Structure 1
Amino acid sequence: MSLSLHLNAQKIKQEKTKSFPNKPLKWYLNKDQNHWIGIHTYAQLSGRVNQNNPGSLVNNQLEKTTTDISIRRFRLGIKSQVSDHLFIYTQFGTNNLNYLSSKGPSIKLLDAYAEYNFSEEFSIGAGKSLWNGLSRFSAPSTSKLMVVDVPFIALPTVNTTDDLLRNLSIFTKGKFHKFDYRFLVSKPFPIQANSSIPADPKEGIAEFTSSPSKIQYAGYIKYEFLGSESNKYASHSGTYLGAKKILSLGTGFKFQSDALCSLEQGIESFHDMTLLAADIFVELPINKSKGSTFTSYLGFFKYDFGPNYLRSIGANNPTNGLDSENASFNGKGNAYPVLGTGTSFLYQFGYLFPKMGKNNTKGQLQPYGRVQYSDFDRLSDPMIAFDLGVNWFLNNHKSKLTLNAQNRPIFYNQEDNLEEDNRKWMFVLQYQFKIQ
């Protein structure tokens, strides 16, 4: 009798497992498998050699070249389709954990939002999230990049009015025929929370104001000529590795009134932030059976932050000080002028070679390039920076090795003109693992 009950129980368990299987790190909440909860994680481990900007200091010592190891990004997220209409997403993580980072816990809450889906045409959500407007890579999928890092020209308010690209916002999104749209309103984070932003306005040079912020508006619409991209999540992929055939044309905006201020003959004057962008993304499989693929992106950015606004960014900076007497305009370490009032173009391209090795066990190589050309009002010369590199996809984006060389301009103030004087290199070897 007990043996019969044991066999029946085992049979029922096997039938349930067979009819109701779970995937790794994804558990189904109902028999139809349309309600679920999942976990994902990834990390980007970087080693680099950087030719530092003039005057760069490490613990008050001049250092021309820095070699270091760092964790560029770490993420741990939980996502759940709670019901037919309700989706919940939370994510924790950190950026730029290097040898200069303060010791102790650094993990923070990045995302926490809920979204209600009425139909494919309309969803609404709220919370802290990556949902953003302006351009494709204003909400980049950092675990599915083609180039080693994000294009900062597409992230005009990074860590000024947002927190690692995230906003506290209400957003809507949807698909209508071949149109894909997203719009949001957000309450910007206070500027004084970021010590790298000047606290006092300057004569004839706009800076973000520390006055109470006004509502920020953003949106992005794209038309998908070929295949359709999922809008389940906020982020856009840098490459699908030939899994999709994509041709999309998009345009977007970001606006905040009185976001910046400057002095005009000693009198404080406020300026609206008006940012416009248009872009085109192409991914065309050349030989789908072998996996060879061409990927390309072209973006146009027209930014108005107010008079002469210009910002240098040195992501994951390998230095922590600056000798002002020997410094360039760029600032310390690997920083250079990336954002400003003016017009910019961004182009990136890559070619994914066929799968290598017997039974495709050696992965795929993808050489790539990226160039940013910016005509900023405050600079006398155009700002031109470029990256050249190669990805080795050992297991798609789940295991990826990237070698990247970046060349950036160095600007000096010469007779009240900011002019390019020389250029510096940064070399990065990065490994990414991803589990989801």
Structure 2
Amino acid sequence: MKKRILFITMLICLLGFSPDWLTAQEAAEVDHSYKPLKLNLNEDGSKYVRFIIWHQQWLSTSNLTKPDNGDAAKLQLSSSIRRSRMLAFAQVSPRFLILTHFGLNGLSSGNLTSLGGNGDAPQLFLHDAWVEFMVNKNLYIGSGLHYWKGMTRLANQSTLNFMTMDQSRPFVHWHSLGITDQFARHLGMYAKGSIDKFDYRLAVNNPGRNGISGNYNGQANPALTYSGVNNLDKDGDPTGNTVIEGYFRYQIKDTESTKLPYAVGTYLGKKDVLAIGAGFYAHPNGVYNNNTGEHVNVTHFAADIFLDKPLNGGGCLNAYASFMSFNYGEDYVARWAGTGAVLYGHVGVLVPGSKVMPYVAFQSGNYEGLPDPTNALDIGLNYFINGHNAKLTLEYHHIGNDPREGGALDVNQIRMQAHVFL
């Protein structure tokens, strides 16, 4: 009951920022428009450097359910910086591009340091740093720390224009997060391109050697760890040093840009998109069996469909669904996924004539190493002050029957986000 009251109260607070309320408060229409942060390097603007800066500030409750008995827990509110980022890319020739992206994630009162330098949590780090060359109009080759990923659209999700508040947790689409990569980025080479309505991205990468095994300690097969690259094979030779991933898409209606890898969450009625995709992620000899000394291949596959359709009156319908098949070895349960299958879907509607977009997202995981299916549910409401450039989001977040979440089978949380990007 307390959870419902709190959720309704926060919902009313967010709805207080309705268009009618704003109109009453503002005698004159506020001009929210701006020119992108772009430095032209020639007169016609075909050569340029583009800068993007964004912040996402969160206010979250603690878990509203006690892990031990399921009763209502004491309410605590916490502020955090979910993301603070800066990205710059330069197109100084039609044949090559350079991109750099740095920032921080998850800064909270629990990892602040006294002077900002006696701990690693507040420090900025590289998210992306790559160069790209055009071979021809259908083929581009790039190299560096990059985000050209398999195996779903949401694996390549942009954090600037989520339809939901954030990536759905557990991060099944970012399944390698912090295990073989650096915050969903790998070091390696990629190829990408498009032919009419079809586009593709393929990458050959090296996994990180950060010592994180990535396995759930309570799994049914504790002999397996995601540490194959750190262990020699039976002949004493190094192995497990290659990750291959890719995503292939056919766009039935409007064509989306593939200049950058970041997939748009919703165009808010500015495009009519219907796209079908399929992808894979393969890490030969990625998992290691500590009992037998043998390596196990990691192979994942997925298929998805994305719809973002304008509605009469300035609204928008957004829907997405994906099926993911994971294989890390028998009964293996990873931090974010596990051997088995996951279904994910979300739907949201930008109400015509308004700046409000309610949504719901759901995922269900069926893993060999866990006795029962896991689930996650997000119910939220976006209020777009100026599209994705300035928005507020209120969300009820639930993870059910998942022992990986800090010992709590169920997580129930209310979160609010203020998001601004320029």
Question: What TM-score bracket applies, with the shorter chain setting the length?
Answer: 0.7 to 0.9
Per-residue deviation, 1:268 = 2.9
The answer for the alignment partner of 2:29 in structure 1 is none
Taking a change above 3 Å as real, the CA distance of residues 203 and 409 of structure 1, as seen in their structure-2 partners, is closer
The answer for the alignment partner of 1:252 in structure 2 is 279
The answer for the alignment partner of 1:163 in structure 2 is 182
SS at match of 2:85: strand
Q: Which runs of 5+ in 2 are unaligned?
A: 1-33, 117-121, 232-237
**Matched letter for residue 147 of structure 1:** T
2:390 to 388, 393, 399: 399
**Is residue 132–residue 218 contact of structure 1 (8 Å, CA) maintained in 2?**
yes
The answer for the alignment partner of 1:233 in structure 2 is 260
The answer for the alignment partner of 1:154 in structure 2 is 173
The answer for the alignment partner of 1:346 in structure 2 is 344
The answer for the alignment partner of 1:84 in structure 2 is 94
* 2:94 pairs with 1:94: no
Distance (Å, rounded) in 2 between the aligned partners of 1:230 and 1:427: 34
Per-residue deviation, 1:51 = 1.3
Taking a change above 3 Å as real, the CA distance of residues 80 and 285 of structure 1, as seen in their structure-2 partners, is same
The answer for the alignment partner of 2:147 in structure 1 is 130
The answer for the alignment partner of 2:18 in structure 1 is none
**Matched letter for residue 163 of structure 1:** Q
**Is residue 159–residue 165 contact of structure 1 (8 Å, CA) maintained in 2?**
yes
Distance (Å, rounded) in 1 between the aligned partners of 2:287 and 2:400: 26
SS at match of 1:259: strand
Distance (Å, rounded) in 2 between the aligned partners of 1:185 and 1:411: 32
SS at match of 2:161: coil
Taking a change above 3 Å as real, the CA distance of residues 243 and 203 of structure 1, as seen in their structure-2 partners, is closer
**Matched letter for residue 411 of structure 2:** K
**Is residue 221–residue 331 contact of structure 2 (8 Å, CA) maintained in 1?**
no
The answer for the alignment partner of 2:372 in structure 1 is 381
The answer for the alignment partner of 2:60 in structure 1 is 48
Distance (Å, rounded) in 1 between the aligned partners of 2:221 and 2:415: 38
Per-residue deviation, 1:141 = 0.2
Distance (Å, rounded) in 2 between the aligned partners of 1:412 and 1:234: 33
* 2:268 pairs with 1:277: no
SS at match of 1:240: coil
**Matched letter for residue 160 of structure 1:** I
SS at match of 2:172: helix
Per-residue deviation, 1:383 = 1.0
* 2:198 pairs with 1:207: no
SS at match of 1:153: coil
Per-residue deviation, 1:32 = 2.5
**Is residue 285–residue 296 contact of structure 2 (8 Å, CA) maintained in 1?**
yes
Taking a change above 3 Å as real, the CA distance of residues 112 and 411 of structure 1, as seen in their structure-2 partners, is closer
**Matched letter for residue 42 of structure 2:** N
Larger Rg: 1
The answer for the alignment partner of 1:189 in structure 2 is 208
2:78 to 57, 68, 78: 68
Distance (Å, rounded) in 2 between the aligned partners of 1:189 and 1:293: 40
Higher mean alpha-carbon deviation, 403-412 vs 159-168, is at 403-412
The answer for the alignment partner of 1:334 in structure 2 is none
The answer for the alignment partner of 2:315 in structure 1 is 292
1:365 to 356, 372, 375: 356
Per-residue deviation, 1:301 = 0.2
Distance (Å, rounded) in 1 between the aligned partners of 2:180 and 2:295: 16
Distance (Å, rounded) in 2 between the aligned partners of 1:27 and 1:421: 49
Taking a change above 3 Å as real, the CA distance of residues 203 and 408 of structure 1, as seen in their structure-2 partners, is closer
Per-residue deviation, 1:203 = 4.9
Matches of residues 329-344 of structure 1 in structure 2 within 5 Å?
338-344=336-342
SS at match of 2:294: strand
**Is residue 244–residue 283 contact of structure 1 (8 Å, CA) maintained in 2?**
yes
Distance (Å, rounded) in 2 between the aligned partners of 1:179 and 1:135: 15
SS at match of 1:138: helix
- Percent of pairs identical after alignment? 30
**Matched letter for residue 322 of structure 2:** G
Greater percentage in strand: 1
**Is residue 214–residue 226 contact of structure 2 (8 Å, CA) maintained in 1?**
no
Per-residue deviation, 1:171 = 0.5
Distance (Å, rounded) in 1 between the aligned partners of 2:358 and 2:391: 13
The aligned length equals: 364
Per-residue deviation, 1:206 = 2.6
Per-residue deviation, 1:191 = 3.5
**Matched letter for residue 206 of structure 1:** L
**Is residue 124–residue 173 contact of structure 1 (8 Å, CA) maintained in 2?**
yes
Distance (Å, rounded) in 2 between the aligned partners of 1:411 and 1:405: 17
**Is residue 191–residue 197 contact of structure 1 (8 Å, CA) maintained in 2?**
no
Taking a change above 3 Å as real, the CA distance of residues 94 and 171 of structure 1, as seen in their structure-2 partners, is same
SS at match of 1:387: strand
The answer for the alignment partner of 2:12 in structure 1 is none
SS at match of 2:283: strand
Distance (Å, rounded) in 1 between the aligned partners of 2:75 and 2:309: 40
Q: After superposition, what is the alpha-carbon deviation per residue over 1:109-140, rounded to whole angstroms, capped at 9, x for unaligned?
A: 11111111233311111111111121101111
**Is residue 283–residue 298 contact of structure 2 (8 Å, CA) maintained in 1?**
yes
**Is residue 350–residue 368 contact of structure 1 (8 Å, CA) maintained in 2?**
yes
Distance (Å, rounded) in 1 between the aligned partners of 2:259 and 2:156: 13
Per-residue deviation, 1:196 = 6.8
Distance (Å, rounded) in 2 between the aligned partners of 1:195 and 1:422: 22
Distance (Å, rounded) in 2 between the aligned partners of 1:40 and 1:32: 21
Superposed CA RMSD in Å reads: 2.5
**Is residue 136–residue 279 contact of structure 1 (8 Å, CA) maintained in 2?**
yes
Per-residue deviation, 1:198 = 7.9
Distance (Å, rounded) in 1 between the aligned partners of 2:409 and 2:67: 14
Per-residue deviation, 1:410 = 3.7
Distance (Å, rounded) in 1 between the aligned partners of 2:387 and 2:245: 32
Per-residue deviation, 1:204 = 5.1
* 2:399 pairs with 1:433: no
